[in-house]
Amino acid sequence: MPPLTITTIQTKLEWENKAANLQMLGKKIDDLEEKTEIIILPEMFSTGFSMRAPELAETMEGETVQWMKEVATRNKVILTGSIIIKEKDRYYNRLIWMLPNGQFGTYDKRHLFAYAEEDKYYTAGNKRLIASVKGWKINLQVCYDLRFPVWARNQSVDTDNPAEQHPGDSPAAAFNAGANQEYDIVVYVANWPERRNHAWKTLLCARAIENQCYVIGVNRVGRDGNNIGYSGNTLVIDPLGEVLYHMADEEDVFTITLQKEHLEEVRTKFPFWKDSDHFTLH
């Protein structure tokens, strides 16, 4: 399986100022010198984590989705991050997975942050989005979702096939079943406050270890309009929980190439997925 190159953008955001944020992010993306295939932006990258949904929401035909199409097409990349969307009189914290050809997928944040009253203004989603790129499967999630491991749990897509679940499987058979895991990478886009950064870093590592996958957590820095500080701590973590990249406090644009061979080696050598509990999400 070919490698996959991903760029993370950890940045300050201008509070509720779409024009300024889109201009700033567009410049960062256009100025990239390294070739990349996927660019990941923070949660609510055009506004900051605002509860003023009625004033700030857009439709799927709005300026930010159009901006994403133009940027993805111009730079020949996949672009992702979440924005505030209005649909049928409801508001969503919606992640957009924008392809360079203008096609896109969406994921509505499942777990709304009641501590900040997000649940009073937004509607929770109920479906995961697992995208596919060059044979890689990528589970896309948003911020507070990180605290709920069941929603991210990686399972075999062939759980009803005894031949792929038998304890006596050879390493080759074990690899084949491991390759049928639901996803290979889980991405969290976030506005995760500095005061809880220990939980952020710990849980990202836990998701990588328990799901035997790469984990990418992209957070913002700076302060928002509610005077909440963000320390970033954007992380890329391998399937063993080893940190491949970590940046705190500063703005940073980072590009990394992930190797499928390493993922396959981990799942083959340590086939822990075979002993996991199988369940259905509702």
Q: What CA–CA distance (Å, rounded) separates 60 from 176? A: 39
Catalytic annotation, residues: 43, 109, 143
Q: Is residue 281 part of a domain?
A: no
Q: Is residue 96 part of a domain?
A: yes
Q: Is residue 115 part of a domain?
A: yes
The residue segments making up the domain with residue 16 are 4-275
- Contact assessment for residue 226 and residue 256, using Cβ atoms and an 8 Å cutoff: no
- Assigned token pair, 61: 């035909």
In three-state secondary structure terms, 226 is coil
Q: What CA–CA distance (Å, rounded) separates 137 from 185? A: 7
- Contact assessment for residue 130 and residue 153, using Cβ atoms and an 8 Å cutoff: no
DSSP per-residue letters across 149-166:
HHHH---BTTTT-GGGT-
Q: What CA–CA distance (Å, rounded) separates 261 from 253? A: 25
CATH number of residue 98's parent domain: 3.60.110.10
> Domains in the chain: how many in total?
1
Report residue 281's pLDDT band, with 50, 70 and 90 as the boundaries.
Answer: confident
Residue among 117, 46, 118, 116 nearest 84 (CA): 46
Q: What CA–CA distance (Å, rounded) separates 143 from 112? A: 9
Reply yes or no on whether the pLDDT at 172 is more than 70. Answer: no
Q: What is the DSSP letter of 195?
A: G
Residue found by looking up tokens 């969503």 in the block: 92
Reply yes or no on whether the pLDDT at 159 is more than 50. Answer: no
Q: Is residue 180 part of a domain?
A: yes
Q: Is residue 188 part of a domain?
A: yes
- Contact assessment for residue 111 and residue 144, using Cβ atoms and an 8 Å cutoff: yes
Q: Is residue 73 part of a domain?
A: yes
- Assigned token pair, 42: 């923070």
Which residue(s) pair with 133 in the sheet?
136
Task: Determine the pLDDT at residue 179.
Answer: 63
| Run of H or E residues at 181 | none
The identity of residue 161, as a single letter, is N
Task: Put residue 120 in one of left, alpha, beta given phi > 0 → left and psi -120 to 50 → alpha.
Answer: alpha
Strand-pair category, 243-248 with 252-258: unpaired
Task: Determine the pLDDT at residue 222.
Answer: 98
pLDDT in tens, 100-132: 999 999 999 999 999 999 999 999 999 999 999
Strand-pair category, 38-40 with 90-98: unpaired
CA angle 163, 165, 168 (to 5 degrees): 80
| Strand spans (E) along 143-239 | 185-189, 214-218, 221-223, 229-237
pLDDT in tens, 1-55: 799 999 999 999 999 999 999 999 999 999 999 999 999 999 999 999 999 999 9
Task: Determine the pLDDT at residue 234.
Answer: 99
Strand-pair category, 4-10 with 243-248: unpaired
Residues 6+ apart with CB under 8 A from 198: none
Q: Is residue 282 part of a domain?
A: no
Report residue 138's pLDDT band, with 50, 70 and 90 as the boundaries.
Answer: very high
